[in-house]
């Protein structure tokens, strides 16, 4: 695509109607009299006439990636709910505030002294925000204890999550989201079930029994006593339909399973967010210790590291540049909110949403955004109160290209059409077999009535463009992806 002039659609239309008496007033399209005018006409036609957008709002901002010039703008200065496009700002702020090589640390401490095979004191697990702890990491801690010759812990097993405050949910999280992985509680001490690193969740799997009438088989990943399963489901004949519901009861760690699963049918599974993940992490460590033959005489409870506790062992997470892969590719809400609290802790001395969002606002301004037009309520975009104009997101994407950490940032974005889950991410099944396939690197976003897509597009002629599309007030948010893909593909075709 040839370099385009900056276009303000509304002003240009008024000018044309005033000065060109033979123009057709019933047509809202800008005529293709400028370079790139055909593209402008196509975009206008879509945004003004597509039935998916009727009654909705479509903020579209397109910039030249080299110059930052705004080459297309459709209500680009109107504040809109960004959904997970908020993560573009959170990731950039984390890279700038913490650094791409920053690692989370988890400490195993002890009080008292070791006498023979007995620890005459407490064993303390102190979390400092790591959302990537797996069962194998707790196993490693248990092996360290065993290698020290300890077989009995005379005191208690304590979980210290005071690195962050005790507020578990961001301000606007809907009650209907809290039981699912995307609405998991944020704690400085937590655990993940697998390498997607959905912190504070367990995977509950339901398999059919051998015969109709039998209770289905339930498994958890990881196995934990922290979750109580109430199995009300039943196995039915193989010609019947599968209809399984797996839900956690509010305010508890009781998971109820209801419905029917046919003999020889496929499993059903859900990622369920636990209530109070600190206790979940402690339970996993307790199980790991038991597997090494280590007994705990005292209680297992949340608490604070006693003064003078000695370091037994520590675990460091992957650096943030690597954490950005599951965070951005899979749009992990828990990672976003953890990074908000970590930025607050590191930059302001308090691991809270309030202080973390202060850092986010400061970084937004430092990265070229107009903070006076932003409403920032969380780091993930799950809030319906967040507001960012499309022009501000495209401005951010232009400015970050000069940062030393930009390659890590760019590498974290989903790539259209790439079926590798940790490469294509949330775009892996979109825009396949088009010019956009492999040439669109962008962050997706989706909450009820909202869809968004912002990132970088390489055109057929080799030009680099920056795109931000924020669609609000849709009756079917999922249909927004159709519009986004059309726009991104249209740009890739140039």
- 355-367 tens-digit pLDDT: 999 999 999 999 9
What's the order of all strands across the beta sheet hosting 70-74? 70-74, 57-64, 464-472, 450-458, 440-447
Write down the pLDDT at residue 36. Answer: 61
Q: Which class is 38-101+320-493 in CATH?
A: alpha beta
Q: What tens digit of pLDDT does each residue of 408-455 get?
A: 999 999 999 999 999 999 999 999 999 999 999 999 999 999 999 999
- Angle formed at CA 194 by CA 190 and CA 200, multiple of 5 degrees: 25
Q: Give the tokens for residue 382.
A: 């799950």
**Helix (H), strand (E), coil (C) string for 80-96:** ECCHHHHHHHHHHHHHH
The number of residues making up the chain comes to 494
Write down the pLDDT at residue 332. Answer: 97
Beta carbons of 316 and 129 less than 8 angstroms apart: no
Q: What tens digit of pLDDT does each residue of 266-297 get?
A: 999 999 999 999 999 999 999 999 999 999 99
For residue 435, cis peptide bond before it (omega within 30 degrees of 0):
no
Beta-bridge partner residues of 59? 470
From 61, 87, 355, 446, active-site residue: 87
Query: 305 an active-site residue?
Result: no
pLDDT (average), residues 238-251? 94
Q: What tens digit of pLDDT does each residue of 308-338 get?
A: 899 999 999 999 999 999 999 999 999 999 9
Query: 156 an active-site residue?
Result: no
Q: What tens digit of pLDDT does each residue of 191-206 get?
A: 999 999 999 999 999 9
pTM over 0.85? The answer is: yes
Q: What tens digit of pLDDT does each residue of 141-182 get?
A: 999 999 999 999 999 999 999 999 999 999 988 888 888 999
**Residue-averaged pLDDT of the chain:** 92
Write down the pLDDT at residue 27. Answer: 29
Pairing of strands 152-153, 295-296: parallel
Residue ranges in 253-292 assigned as alpha helix (H):
277-291
Find, among 484, 459, 434, 457, the residue nearest to 2 by Cα.
Answer: 459
From 4, 84, 268, 468, active-site residue: 84
Beta carbons of 396 and 364 less than 8 angstroms apart: yes
Q: Going by CATH, does the domain composed of 105-168+277-315 fall within 3.90.1150.10?
A: no
CATH 3.40.710.10 segments of the chain = 38-101+320-493
Query: 84 an active-site residue?
Result: yes
From 170, 331, 380, 383, active-site residue: 331
Lowest model confidence (mean pLDDT) among 29-38, 55-64, 355-364, 456-465:
29-38
Maximum Cα–Cα distance for the chain, whole Å? 98
């Amino acid at each position: 695509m040839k370099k385009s002039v900056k276009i303000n659609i509304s002003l240009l239309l008024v000018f044309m109607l005033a000065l060109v008496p033979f123009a057709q007033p019933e047509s809202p399209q800008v005529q293709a009299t400028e370079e790139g005018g055909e593209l402008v006409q196509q975009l206008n036609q879509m945004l003004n006439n597509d039935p998916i957008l009727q009654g909705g709002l479509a903020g579209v901002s397109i910039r030249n990636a080299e110059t930052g010039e705004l080459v297309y703008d459709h209500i680009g200065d109107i504040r809109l709910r960004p959904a997970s496009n908020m993560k573009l700002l959170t990731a950039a702020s984390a890279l700038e505030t913490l650094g791409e090589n920053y690692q989370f640390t988890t400490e195993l401490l002890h009080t008292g002294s070791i006498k023979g095979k007995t620890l005459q004191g407490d064993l303390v697990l102190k979390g400092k925000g790591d959302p990537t702890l797996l069962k194998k990491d707790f196993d490693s801690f248990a092996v360290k204890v065993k290698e020290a010759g300890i077989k009995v812990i005379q005191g208690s097993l304590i979980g210290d999550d005071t690195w962050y405050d005790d507020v578990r949910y961001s301000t606007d999280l809907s009650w209907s989201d809290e039981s699912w992985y995307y609405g998991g509680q944020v704690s400085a001490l937590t655990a993940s079930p697998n390498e997607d690193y959905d912190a504070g969740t367990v995977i509950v799997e339901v398999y059919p029994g051998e015969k109709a009438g039998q209770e289905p088989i339930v498994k958890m990943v990881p196995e934990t006593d922290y979750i109580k399963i109430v199995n009300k489901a039943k196995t039915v004949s193989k010609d019947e339909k599968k209809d399984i519901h797996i839900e956690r009861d509010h305010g508890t760690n009781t998971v109820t399973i209801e419905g029917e699963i046919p003999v020889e049918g496929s499993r059903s599974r859900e990622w369920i967010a636990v209530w109070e993940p600190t206790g979940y992490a402690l339970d996993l460590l307790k199980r790991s210790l038991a597997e090494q033959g280590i007994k705990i005489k005292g209680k297992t409870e949340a608490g604070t590291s006693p003064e003078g506790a000695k370091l037994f062992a520590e675990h460091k997470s992957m650096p943030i540049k690597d954490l950005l892969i599951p965070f951005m590719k899979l749009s992990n809400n828990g990672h976003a909110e953890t990074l908000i609290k970590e930025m607050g802790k590191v930059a302001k001395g308090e691991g809270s949403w309030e202080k973390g969002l202060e850092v986010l606002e400061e970084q937004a301004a430092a990265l070229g955004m107009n903070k006076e037009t932003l409403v920032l309520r969380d780091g993930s975009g799950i809030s319906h109160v967040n507001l960012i104009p499309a022009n501000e997101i495209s401005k951010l994407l232009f400015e970050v290209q000069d940062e030393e950490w930009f390659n890590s940032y760019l590498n974290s974005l989903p790539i259209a059409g790439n079926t590798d889950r940790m490469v294509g991410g949330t775009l892996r099944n979109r825009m396949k077999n088009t010019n956009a396939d492999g040439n669109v690197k962008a962050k997706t976003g989706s909450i009820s009535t909202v869809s968004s897509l912002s990132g970088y597009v390489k055109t057929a002629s080799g030009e680099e463009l920056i795109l931000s599309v924020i669609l609000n007030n849709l009756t079917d948010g999922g249909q927004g992806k159709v519009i986004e893909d059309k726009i991104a593909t249209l740009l890739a075709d140039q």
